[in-house]
Amino acid sequence: MQETMDYLLDHPLLGVLVIGVAWVVVTSIVKSLFKAATILVVVALALVVFFDFTPKEVLEKGSNVANIGTSLFQKTLQPMLTNESEGEAFFIQEKNGDTVISLDSLGITYNLSELFESEEEKSPMQQKNDASIPH
């Protein structure tokens, strides 16, 4: 992180560009959250005014929906990203101090430390293509 900050301080035009992109991303996220909150408030008001729900009932329904979303994430996505899944279709784990990403369904295993080594300037796809060409 410090190296990145030093690089951006040495190149002020690039630093301004990074700050601009970050600003656009943050403002778009805030606008999206504001729009979602506005929609939820309008729906909640419609439920209270037109459908005779009490505000407490609306809050309970909202918390139920949030709990369903949390449990859905914990039961489906989280096991796929960790070693807890039965089929182990996709997971990230530590082996011998290295982080390994394994896609068992495709028979692919990536060692992140090997991918990020700077011995060669080629990308992994170029290395794979070079290995398949007979010399």
Running DSSP on this structure, what letter comes out for residue 106? T
Q: Which two structure tokens, joined as six digits, stand for 81?
A: 């990203």
pLDDT tier at 134, thresholds 50, 70, 90: low
pLDDT above 70: residue 64: yes
pLDDT above 50: residue 85: no
Kindly state the average pLDDT of the residues 89-97: 65
Q: Is the pTM of this model over 0.85?
A: no
d(CA 135, CA 120): 19
CB count in 10 Å sphere of residue 102: 19
d(CA 132, CA 73): 40
